[in-house]
Structure 1
Amino acid sequence: MNLAQIKALAAGRVARLRRPTRRGVVKAVAAVPVLFLLYVLVLIPFTPGIRDIRKAKLDQPAQVLTADGKELAVFKWANRDWVKLADISPNVTTALIATEDHRFYQHFGLDWRRMGSAALRTFSGDRQGGSTITQQLARNLYPDEIGRAPTLTRKLKEAITALKIEALYTKDEILETYLNTVPFLYNAYGIEMAARTYFDKSADRLDVLESATLIGMLKGNSYYNPVINPERALQRRNTVLAQMVKYQKLDPAKYESLKKRPLRVDFERQTEPPGPAPHFAQQLRKWLITWADRNDYNIYTDGLVVRTTIDSRLQVLANQAVARQGNRLQAIANAAWAPRSGWAANRDLVQAFVRETPEYRSARESGLTPEAAMKQLLADNAFMQALRQSKTRIQAGFMALDPRNGEIKAWVGSRDFSQDAFDHVQQAQRQPGSTFKPFVYGAAFQQGASPDDTFIDRPVEIPMTGGEVWRPADDGPPSGRAMSLRDGLVYSKNTITAQLMQSVGPAKVAKLARAMGVRQSRLDLVPSLALGTSPVTLKEMVSAYGTIANQGAYLEPMMVTRIEDRKGEVLETFRPASPEQALPVATVQTLLDVMRGVVDRGTGVSIRTRFGIRADVAGKTGTTQDNADGWFILMHPQLVAGAWVGFNDSRVTLRSDYWGQGAHSALPMVGDFFQRTLRSRVIDPSIRFAEQKETGMLDAMAATIRGWFQRLFGPAPKPEAPPAPRRAERPLPPPEPAPDAGVAASPAPPDVPAVQAGAQEHGLADAASGAAPAAASASASAPGIPAGDAGATAQDASRAPANASSTAP
Structure 2
Amino acid sequence: MKAIDSLRQRAAALRPRLATLLRRPQRWRSLHGLAWLAVALALAALVCLLALLLLTPSISDIRKAKADQPAQLVSEDGRLLAEYRWVNREWVPLAQIAPAVVDALIATEDHRFYGHWGLDWRRTLAAVVRTAGGDRQGGSTITQQLARNLYPEEIGRAPTLGRKLKEAVTALKIEWSYSKDEILETYLNTVPFLYNAWGIEVAARTYFDKSADKLNVLESATLIGMLKGTAYYNPVLNPERAQERRNTVLAQMKKRGKLDAQDYEQLKRRPLRIRFERQSEIAGLAPHLAQQLKRQLIEWADRRGYSLYADGLVIRTTIDGRLQELANQSVQQQGKALQQVADKAWAARGVWTPKNPLVQQLVRESATLAKAVAGGESEEDAAARLLQDAAFLSELRAAKTRVQIGFMALDPGSGAVRAWVGSRDYAQDPFDHVQAARRQPGSTFKPFVYGAAFAAGRSPQDTLMDTAVEIPLGGGQVWRPRDGNAPPSEEPLTLADGLAYSKNTITAQLMAQVGPQQVVQLARAMGVRESPLEPVPALALGTSPVTLKEMVAAYGTIAGAGRYRAPQVITRIEDASGRVLETFAPAAPEQALGVTAAQQLRDALRGAVDHGTGAAIRSRYGISADVAGKTGTTQDNTDGWFILMHPQLVAGSWVGFNDGRITLRSNYWGQGAHSALPVVGSVFRQALRGKLIDAQQRFVDERESTWGSRAADAAGALRNWVYDLFGRPTGEQAGPVPAPTPAPPVPAPPPSAPAPEDEDERPEITEAPLTPLEQVAPRPAQPAEPPTWVTGPDEAATALPPADTGAPEPAEAPRPGVVLAPGQPIPGVVVPSLSPR
Q: TM-score, normalised by structure 1?
A: 0.80
- Residue of 118, 138, 147 corresponding to 1:138: 147
Partner AA of 1:617 in structure 2: V
Unaligned runs of 5+ in 1: 1-19, 705-748, 786-809
SS in 2 for 1:462: strand
Of residues 249-258 and 143-152 in structure 1, the stretch that sits farther from structure 2 once superposed is: 249-258
Structure 1 residue aligned with 2:70: 61
- Residue of 121, 124, 130 corresponding to 1:121: 130
Distance 1:324 1:113, change over 3 A: closer
Cα distance in 1 for partners of 2:507, 2:769 equals 20
Cα distance in 1 for partners of 2:142, 2:103 equals 13
Cα distance in 2 for partners of 1:314, 1:326 equals 18
Post-superposition shift, 1:272?
Answer: 4.0
Cα distance in 2 for partners of 1:446, 1:502 equals 15
Structure 1 residue aligned with 2:562: 552
Partner AA of 1:58 in structure 2: A
- Residue of 469, 473, 491 corresponding to 2:478: 469
Distance 1:210 1:256, change over 3 A: same
Conservation of the 8 A alpha-carbon contact between 1:603 and 1:763? no
SS in 1 for 2:77: coil
Of residues 294-303 and 624-633 in structure 1, the stretch that sits farther from structure 2 once superposed is: 294-303
Structure 1 residue aligned with 2:590: 580
Post-superposition shift, 1:494?
Answer: 1.9
Distance 1:401 1:761, change over 3 A: farther
Structure 2 residue aligned with 1:265: 274
Distance 1:684 1:235, change over 3 A: same
Post-superposition shift, 1:640?
Answer: 0.7
- Residue of 396, 416, 419 corresponding to 2:405: 396
Cα distance in 2 for partners of 1:507, 1:117 equals 80
Deviation per residue, 1:582-637 (Å, 9 max, x gap): 11111111111211121222222222222232222111111111111111111111
Distance 1:156 1:684, change over 3 A: same
Structure 1 residue aligned with 2:415: 406
Cα distance in 2 for partners of 1:300, 1:659 equals 43
Aligned residues with identical type, % of pairs: 63
Conservation of the 8 A alpha-carbon contact between 1:461 and 1:471? yes
- Residue of 255, 259, 264 corresponding to 1:255: 264
Of residues 400-409 and 121-130 in structure 1, the stretch that sits farther from structure 2 once superposed is: 121-130
Cα distance in 1 for partners of 2:518, 2:664 equals 35
Cα distance in 1 for partners of 2:77, 2:768 equals 49
Cα distance in 1 for partners of 2:776, 2:110 equals 66
Distance 1:675 1:177, change over 3 A: closer
Distance 1:449 1:611, change over 3 A: same
Pairs within 5 Å for 1:343-358:
343-344=352-353, 347-358=356-367
Conservation of the 8 A alpha-carbon contact between 1:546 and 1:554? yes
Cα distance in 1 for partners of 2:690, 2:377 equals 61
Conservation of the 8 A alpha-carbon contact between 1:617 and 1:635? yes
- Residue of 641, 650, 671 corresponding to 2:651: 641
Partner AA of 2:426 in structure 1: F
Cα distance in 1 for partners of 2:772, 2:410 equals 39
Cα distance in 2 for partners of 1:775, 1:684 equals 30
Pairs within 5 Å for 1:613-762:
613-692=623-702, 754-755=740-741, 757-758=742-743
Structure 2 residue aligned with 1:564: 574
Cα distance in 1 for partners of 2:177, 2:606 equals 73
Structure 2 residue aligned with 1:782: 774
Cα distance in 2 for partners of 1:762, 1:603 equals 16
SS in 2 for 1:463: strand
Conservation of the 8 A alpha-carbon contact between 1:60 and 1:300? yes
SS in 1 for 2:453: helix
Cα distance in 1 for partners of 2:192, 2:376 equals 39
Structure 2 residue aligned with 1:360: 369
Cα distance in 2 for partners of 1:771, 1:173 equals 65
Distance 1:760 1:673, change over 3 A: farther
Conservation of the 8 A alpha-carbon contact between 1:72 and 1:276? yes
Cα distance in 2 for partners of 1:504, 1:439 equals 11
Distance 1:418 1:504, change over 3 A: same
Cα distance in 1 for partners of 2:61, 2:296 equals 30
Distance 1:75 1:660, change over 3 A: same
Structure 1 residue aligned with 2:235: 226
Deviation per residue, 1:281-334 (Å, 9 max, x gap): 332334333332232222322222232222222223222332333233222222
- Residue of 49, 54, 60 corresponding to 1:51: 60
- Residue of 463, 480, 483 corresponding to 2:493: 483
Pairs within 5 Å for 1:148-547:
148-344=157-353, 347-475=356-484, 476-547=486-557
Distance 1:771 1:373, change over 3 A: farther
Cα distance in 2 for partners of 1:572, 1:555 equals 21
SS in 1 for 2:469: coil
Conservation of the 8 A alpha-carbon contact between 1:436 and 1:532? yes
Structure 2 residue aligned with 1:96: 105
Post-superposition shift, 1:406?
Answer: 1.0
SS in 1 for 2:602: helix
Of residues 150-159 and 273-282 in structure 1, the stretch that sits farther from structure 2 once superposed is: 273-282
Q: TM-score, normalised by structure 2?
A: 0.78
Distance 1:420 1:413, change over 3 A: same
Partner AA of 2:531 in structure 1: S
SS in 2 for 1:343: coil
SS in 2 for 1:325: helix
Give the paired residue count.
714
Cα distance in 2 for partners of 1:762, 1:498 equals 28
Cα distance in 2 for partners of 1:215, 1:368 equals 39
Work out whether 1:75 is the aligned partner of 2:84: yes
SS in 2 for 1:455: strand
Conservation of the 8 A alpha-carbon contact between 2:641 and 2:676? yes
Distance 1:784 1:87, change over 3 A: farther
Structure 2 residue aligned with 1:600: 610
Structure 1 residue aligned with 2:601: 591
Partner AA of 1:645 in structure 2: V
Cα distance in 1 for partners of 2:236, 2:79 equals 37
Conservation of the 8 A alpha-carbon contact between 2:465 and 2:490? yes
Partner AA of 1:182 in structure 2: V
SS in 2 for 1:632: strand
Conservation of the 8 A alpha-carbon contact between 2:609 and 2:618? yes
Unaligned runs of 5+ in 2: 1-24, 715-734, 750-758, 778-837
Distance 1:248 1:667, change over 3 A: closer
